[in-house]
Amino acid sequence: MASRCLEEERSGRQTRSSGIDSTPTKAAAAGAGELALAVLAAPGPPQLTILGHLEQNDKVKLGSACTSLRQASLAWFPEVTVKVKVGRIDLAWLAAWLERHQARLHILLEPDDEEDDYQLSKKWNDSLTALPSSLVTSLAVHLPIELPAPVSTLTALTRLELKFTECVLYNSDEDSDDYCKMEFMSTHHLRPLMQLRQLGFEDSSMSDNGEELLSLPALAGLQALRLARCYLEQLPRALSAHTQLTALDLSGTHVSALAPLAALQRLQSLDLRNCGLTAVPEQLSVLTALTRLDLADNEQLAGGWQHLLPLTQLRNLNLCGTPFGSGRVPPELAGLKHLRA
């Protein structure tokens, strides 16, 4: 600090000796002070005290440096991931920050376990409505209630993950709790989401509306689809139209009819974990782009290995929880040179 003061004093003497008037105008001084205050913090005694000890030239330099720093900081966080407990965060502040930085938001919304579903419903709607829809590109939601209507306004979404959890419904007539499981989800709120590229469902019954869901025009550009533990009795026929898919997760579905898989010849990753398979499905033989196949936890899996021989790009095969166990490759697949278990 002493050396800095000496330098400033020396600089002042040199300026005065040269005959140049260094006295700043009141307008310039006020402008520099306002600029520095604006970029440092809200005006207050600490900031005024600091600035009061600075020469005008230093004030201008400080203001310029802070402005440059602030502008540079806008590019530091092009994307942010936020985990939100509904009702426990100031979403107005988050929305303002996103608008200021024009950052893309990946958000995980979780319910407040202390609230019943009727109380939660309004908070969910308010939370999603408070966010700048053009900046929310990824949303993961743990749902004890139906899909909030404001999801339909998030038209910049490229990724949507929905996990349906056990919920508690408050029974106002009997003053008691009742438990439920999400058995049906309306597809209405997904119709406007034309930018979706990744869509995931977990623990939802889709036996009634699977065809309707996969027929939505909004899902025409899907590249990754997850239908984990979705209680499907058979794969929706509409799945065969999604030929652009590169990743598909059907873990825990226990479907018996897999005919639509044969059309998905761009698949690179396929998850059939815990699907009750007793043999490798024949439909897999045409999925020659596959590099990853998960057949884990199919405890009775015992044959059909010949259907994997055409998959020359296959590199990762998970057989944990099958009769072969992890780390072993069936001898029938010895010809797949890139394969590891």
Whether the Cβ atoms of residue 77 and residue 100 lie closer than 8 Å to each other: no
- 3-state helix/strand/coil string of 244-307: CCCEEECCCCCCCCCHHHHHCCCCCEEECCCCCCCCCCHHHHHCCCCCEEECCCCCCCCCCHHH
Give pLDDT < 50 ranges for the chain: 1-23, 36-37, 39-40, 167-184
Residue indicated by tokens 């936020």: 82
Estimate the crossing angle of helix 26-40 against helix 45-52, to 10 degrees.
Answer: 130
pLDDT for residue 114 = 56
pLDDT for residue 239 = 94
Single pTM value for the model: 0.71
Share above pLDDT 70 across residues of the chain, in percent, rounded to a whole number: 72
pLDDT for residue 10 = 44
Phi then psi for 118, rounded to 5 degrees? -70, -35
pLDDT for residue 121 = 67
Which residue segments constitute the domains of the chain, with CATH numbers given? 24-73 (no CATH), 78-271 (3.80.10.10)
Angstrom distance (rounded) from CA 13 to CA 35:
27
pLDDT for residue 159 = 92
pLDDT for residue 73 = 67
pLDDT for residue 180 = 42
Closest CA to 232 of 202, 262, 268: 202
- DSSP, collapsed to helix, strand or coil, labels residue 38 as helix
